Amino acid sequence: MAVLLLAEVTSGELNMDATAKAVTAAAKLGDVTVLCAGASAKAAADQAATIAGVAKVLCAEGDSLGHRLAEATADLIVGMAGDYSHICAPATTDAKNIMPRVAALLDVMVISDAMGVVDADTFERPIYAGNAVQTVKSTDAKKVITFRTTGFELAGTGNAAPVAMVDAPAASGLSTWVEDKVAASDRPELTSAGIVVSGGRGVGSEEQFALIEGLADKLGAAVGASRAAVDSGYAPNDWQVGQTGKVVAPELYIAVGISGAIQHLAGMKDSKVIVAINKDEEAPIFQVADYGLVADLFEAVPELTSKL
């Protein structure tokens, strides 16, 4: 079977981690063709061609495909859908914007956030904020899937798949880009970082979140936050870890001042080692933590940062 995988390309750059993990998932279904689309996408396509397991790379460049706008990218995919049994993407915000649109245009259901591939028709996905796992079998002729990448290993590199250019569709005229507010950061990207330090409501304020950032920087870690911390304005939205935010599975996850609401656990419980620092010894986060420290974070975090 032939599988089309929409690579995660943002401002011309390939998100290697998300794309290479999605390749691992897609390779279980058949021969993988990767599509890199954007206002500029050639460099991303050349990089995607190095991912092991990729049979072919298609590159579509055009202004209509820039700035994450869903309409033209969906049209591009639908136009080439006839050649593929499965159309998939890593479950990023961009893919979640585009893939349901693709599915509806093809009159099929989308399978969102698949975390396991049972067979070519059957997938496992989390429901109820990760409180249950549903195995669904698609009866549609064509499957449209987004993969939750934490469920799949990173594919290797060293490949040299052929890259072919394809035409970009015309702009839909429906949506236009105004501006991006993307915080520049030297820290690793949250979903691919080896270590993540997250703060919760217990951190208390935006200023005090500097404690979390200080510990993260000492460890070379990404910074995350609970929904409560984001809703309270202590941390920006793209730091949110949880069912409705980002799903992470680093080697080490340090939860500071996070009680451990189920929707937060859904976003980090596949981490290899979990550390919880919380002054409430009854906090649910301790039920999933490998190492729990019952302590005042305002004392424990500076001490930890200084001793590392």
Would you state the torsion angle of the CA atoms of residues 104, 146, 170, 50, taken in this order, to the nearest 10 degrees?
A: -150
Of 21-29, 35-43, 149-157, 288-296, which part binds another protein (CB under 8 A)?
Answer: 288-296
Tell which positions 27-86 bind another protein, by CB under 8 A: 67-71, 74
Query: Going residue by residue from 200 to 229, which x/- string records binding to another protein, judged by CB under 8 A?
Result: -------------------x-------x--
Q: Is 113 in the site for another protein (CB under 8 A)?
A: yes
Binds another protein by CB under 8 A, chosen from 82, 83, 158, 180: 180
The pairing of beta strand 116-119 with beta strand 122-127? antiparallel
Residue 196: strand pairing partners: 222, 253
Residues numbered 145-174 forming contacts with another protein, rule: CB under 8 A: 172-174
State the minimum distance, in angstroms, from the CB of residue 100 to another protein.
4
Of 1 and 273, nearer to another protein (C-beta) is: 273
Report the distance separating Cα 118 and Cα 28, nearest Å: 9
Taking the CA atoms of the chain, what radius of gyration do you get in angstroms?
20
Q: By CB under 8 A, which span of 58-66, 157-165, 204-212, 245-253 interacts with another protein? A: 245-253
Give the nearest distance from C-beta 214 to another protein in angstroms: 14
* In the block, residue with structure tokens 């702009």: 171
Across the strands, what pairs with 145?
Answer: 88, 111
Work out how close the CB of 162 gets to another protein at its nearest, in angstroms, rounded to a whole number.
Answer: 29
For residue 164, give Cα distances in angstroms to 5, 7, 82: 15, 15, 17
Give least dist CB 225 to another protein, A: 13
Question: Considering only residues 97, 157, 159, 208, which one is a binding residue for another protein as defined by CB under 8 A?
Answer: 97
Of 203 and 254, CB closest to another protein: 254
> Which residues are CB-neighbours of 152 under 8 A, at least 6 positions away?
21, 22, 24, 25
Beta strands in 71-128 (DSSP E): 86-90, 110-114, 116-119, 122-127
Half-sphere exposure of 143 (CA within 13 A, CB side): 27
- Which is closer to another protein, CB of 49 or CB of 65? 65
Of residues 82, 158, 181, 186, which one binds another protein by CB under 8 A? 181
Whether 264 and 242 have beta carbons less than 8 Å apart is answered as: yes
275 contributes a contact to another protein by CB under 8 A: yes
Among 109, 120, 154, 163, indicate the residue that binds another protein (CB under 8 A). 109
User: Kind of pairing, strands 86-90 and 2-6?
Assistant: parallel
